[in-house]
Structure 1
Amino acid sequence: MTTLRTSPLDASHRALGAKLVEFGGWDMPLSYPSGTLAEHRACRTEAVVFDVSHLGTVRITGPEALGRLQFALTNDLDKVGPGRAQYTHLLDADDASVVDDIIVWWVDDETFDVMPNASNTAGVVGALGEGAVDVTETRAILALQGPAARRLLHGIWPEAAAIGRFHVARMTWNGIDCVVAGTGYTGEDGLEVAVPAADAPALWDAVLAAGFAPAGLGARDTLRLEAGLPLHGHELGEGITTLQAGLGWVVSWDKGDFLGRAPLLAEKEAGVARRLRALTIEGRRPPRADQVVLVDGQPAGVVTSGNFSPTRGQGIALAFVPPTVAIGDTVAIDVRGEAVPAQVVKPPFVTATPAEPVA
């Protein structure tokens, strides 16, 4: 048996009675005694803290770092600059499949923290080549999310509470060197903090004492689905391109060559064979991944992610369908043999709650 990796906050989760599950090779909290539904609602209405230490951190430094990233990734870092974060894709050079979707934290002129999904870290290190170092085990990452996140954090760390959306900065908390970014994966306002592993429990305890509720990966998944955000292994992955996923905005065609550019350009010119769409169904029955989507009564697509939306009170899904299926159309999802009508809608399913004033 393969031993699961554990977060620097593992003991803290167990002390809180968290339900732990395997995720990307890590033993991580799925939920706490309050339950996924309560955690989901707390993020939409107040503020929660997630431990997302299972995500990778690949650090690349030096004068050649920017050039390596520009060739490896689809987006153009020159559009942002130091002190900013950017969402981007790493593509397969042969068929333009999305090997991983990534957030890059451009920490300073020659320091980049590349944040891959948990199971893809080694592949990202290989794609970036010499000079890329996996530093995942040196830190924990706390995601502070929700409309009250900045207000609550201001009481213990005003500087971090002021970080702008998709901005990145080195900061200290109680003399501890951290990196803070205005990023997240819930659709709500918030930020993420990389803190040295040994100091993570102290920051976690301080955040809980400030009023944040602990939340697990179950709530994180329902929140990202309501926000219409893709998940690698579902909406992105082998055989799925950026264009099929409707994320062409992360491709900078005019920056020069990058891995997978030629096959992605060929697909762009030929037109995609399928397109990711957002679907809603009436009633509380949740659609599920791998269920068949019917167009005009015939199998034509597949659900990639589906669940009950706590905020909308109905089933929602992301699904690949023919490119002719447009927003406003009605299709159906085969839910255990029953063709359940589904409306094609424009994501997100739920818009962010306005952030509360800090002071």
Structure 2
Amino acid sequence: MTTPSLLRTPLHAAHIAAGARMAPFAGWEMPLHYGSQIDEHHATRKACGLFDVSHMGQVRITGCDALKLVQAIVTRDVAHLGDGQSAYCAMCNRAGGLLDDLIVSRLAMGDYLLVVNAGTYEGDLAQMHAVEREFGPFDARIDGCRDDWAMLAVQGPEAPAVLARVLGGGLDPPAMRMISVEWRGQAFWLSTTGYTGERGAELIAPVEMARDLWDALMAAGARPVGLAARDTLRLEQAFNLSGQDFTAQNHPFEVRLGWVVDLDKPDFCGREALRAIRAGVCPRQQCGLLPEGRRIPRHGARVLHQGKQVGVVTSGGFSPTLGRPIALGLLQSQIVKSEEPLEIDLGRGTTVPAVITPLPFLRAQPL
């Protein structure tokens, strides 16, 4: 049995040249770090980090009924979006199970760009076509266009200055905006979104200009950051990781995503199931956990109360900013409300005390 070959982003050679340690992630060979995960984390919080996120998937939905089709696919009402505006959304199956979280941007009337997660790209495309068949017919077209684009994230308090050095001044759109910019005669998209809680933008550019754009951003003061620091940055902000903090076995209300479910909008996939779930009792709830000591609880670790399992850790890591371990857990709702002391089972007979804490662990910065 042969192992499927890993996909490579257009910036693979740049990562090798920068001394990156490469690792598999969601079917891709991606940079884990460039020497020090901790330094890269701090560089993003204090200055400007540069991330290759070209493994993310892009889907274009166009046509007279593009809005109607997008509305049927996602749980959030996006009818209010104007040209160049974006919204964080979720996509569910008929049972209300979470398939993915994504960003929906309206590029123009009848033209929407959806950015989905790397590990769910193929499944998301299949789901979109299934919704098209079930809720249609629509005068609209779904095009998976991941191979057409590279995607770079420029994040940190100095990100606006770095972007201005490369793209020119005067670019200061508010958060959740998508604008067209031009560099060296080529147009591409600048989206004021991110996965770190810091100021900055994500650049969706043609593949052929990816390396030049990367090099220019590096020369302007950005520091390359790998997936390891990206994970601790998002965990500090309590941003969910698709496929880890939630799967199709979870619904939005138990993982703090109820705010992106608009049950009063036109029919969408999963609406009736989600209406029933919201009307009932939610037995589980996502929460933040602060373990004592320095040992890190990992995904799947059992959370205990008086020796009995009451939940599970979905994400855990060391927070460089706080200087301590932190974790996201999915726990029985009554335990979360009680805020009683807990223990986390680290395996091999070792447990550590833990307390529930408000989320996020850090407050996000204005984009």
TM-score by length of 2: 0.93
1:81-103 C-alpha deviation (Å, 9 max, x unpaired): 2211111111011x211111111
Worse overlay, 176-185 or 343-352 = 343-352
Secondary structure in structure 1 of the residue aligned to 2:255: coil
Residue 335, structure 1, aligned to residue 346, structure 2: yes
Q: Evaluate the alpha carbon distance shift between residue 345 and residue 80 of structure 1 in structure 2; reply closer, same or farther with a 3 A threshold.
A: farther
Secondary structure in structure 1 of the residue aligned to 2:113: strand
C-alpha separation between the residues in 2 aligned to 1:282 and 1:147? 31
C-alpha separation between the residues in 1 aligned to 2:170 and 2:120? 29
Q: What does residue 8 of structure 2 align with?
A: 6
1:237-267 C-alpha deviation (Å, 9 max, x unpaired): 1211101112100001111211011111111
C-alpha separation between the residues in 2 aligned to 1:143 and 1:310? 20
C-alpha separation between the residues in 2 aligned to 1:193 and 1:109? 21
Residue 51, structure 1, aligned to residue 52, structure 2: yes
Q: What does residue 322 of structure 2 align with?
A: 312
Q: What does residue 137 of structure 2 align with?
A: none
Q: What does residue 153 of structure 1 align with?
A: 163
1:3 Cα deviation after fit:
1.7
Q: What does residue 136 of structure 2 align with?
A: none
1:354 Cα deviation after fit:
6.6
Amino acid at match of 1:212: A
Residue 27, structure 1, aligned to residue 39, structure 2: no
C-alpha separation between the residues in 2 aligned to 1:46 and 1:161? 18
Structure 1: runs of 5+ lacking an equivalent = none
Alignment check: 8 A CA contact 1:293 1:303 kept: yes
Worse overlay, 225-234 or 128-137 = 128-137
Specify which of 256, 259, 264 is matched with residue 269 of structure 2: 259
C-alpha separation between the residues in 1 aligned to 2:266 and 2:153? 34
Alignment of 1:88-237 (within 5 A): 88-93=89-94, 95-129=95-129, 131-158=141-168, 161-237=171-247
Worse overlay, 50-59 or 265-274 = 265-274
Q: What does residue 352 of structure 1 align with?
A: 364
Aligned length: 353
C-alpha separation between the residues in 1 aligned to 2:98 and 2:49? 30
C-alpha separation between the residues in 2 aligned to 1:38 and 1:267? 43
Secondary structure in structure 2 of the residue aligned to 1:288: coil
1:295 Cα deviation after fit:
2.0
Q: What does residue 135 of structure 2 align with?
A: none
C-alpha separation between the residues in 1 aligned to 2:117 and 2:63? 24
Alignment check: 8 A CA contact 2:76 2:261 kept: yes
Across the aligned residues of Structure 1 and Structure 2, the Cα RMSD in angstroms comes to 1.5
C-alpha separation between the residues in 2 aligned to 1:60 and 1:354? 29
1:95-119 C-alpha deviation (Å, 9 max, x unpaired): 2111111111221222111111112
Residue 301, structure 1, aligned to residue 311, structure 2: yes
1:144-178 C-alpha deviation (Å, 9 max, x unpaired): 00111001221221358412210111111121110
Worse overlay, 326-335 or 78-87 = 326-335
Amino acid at match of 1:331: L
Alignment check: 8 A CA contact 1:97 1:238 kept: yes
Alignment check: 8 A CA contact 1:283 1:313 kept: no
C-alpha separation between the residues in 1 aligned to 2:168 and 2:353? 48
Secondary structure in structure 1 of the residue aligned to 2:252: coil
Worse overlay, 122-131 or 182-191 = 122-131
Worse overlay, 40-49 or 319-328 = 319-328
Secondary structure in structure 2 of the residue aligned to 1:156: helix
Structure 2: runs of 5+ lacking an equivalent = 133-140
1:163-215 C-alpha deviation (Å, 9 max, x unpaired): 22101111111211101110000111111000100010000000000000000
Amino acid at match of 1:85: S
Alignment check: 8 A CA contact 1:74 1:258 kept: yes
Alignment check: 8 A CA contact 1:154 1:161 kept: yes
C-alpha separation between the residues in 2 aligned to 1:160 and 1:289? 43
1:222 Cα deviation after fit:
0.7
Alignment check: 8 A CA contact 1:45 1:147 kept: yes
Q: What does residue 16 of structure 1 align with?
A: 18
Amino acid at match of 1:104: V
Alignment check: 8 A CA contact 1:39 1:214 kept: yes
Q: Evaluate the alpha carbon distance shift between residue 343 and residue 37 of structure 1 in structure 2; reply closer, same or farther with a 3 A threshold.
A: same
Q: Evaluate the alpha carbon distance shift between residue 160 and residue 269 of structure 1 in structure 2; reply closer, same or farther with a 3 A threshold.
A: farther
Alignment check: 8 A CA contact 2:310 2:335 kept: no
Secondary structure in structure 1 of the residue aligned to 2:273: helix
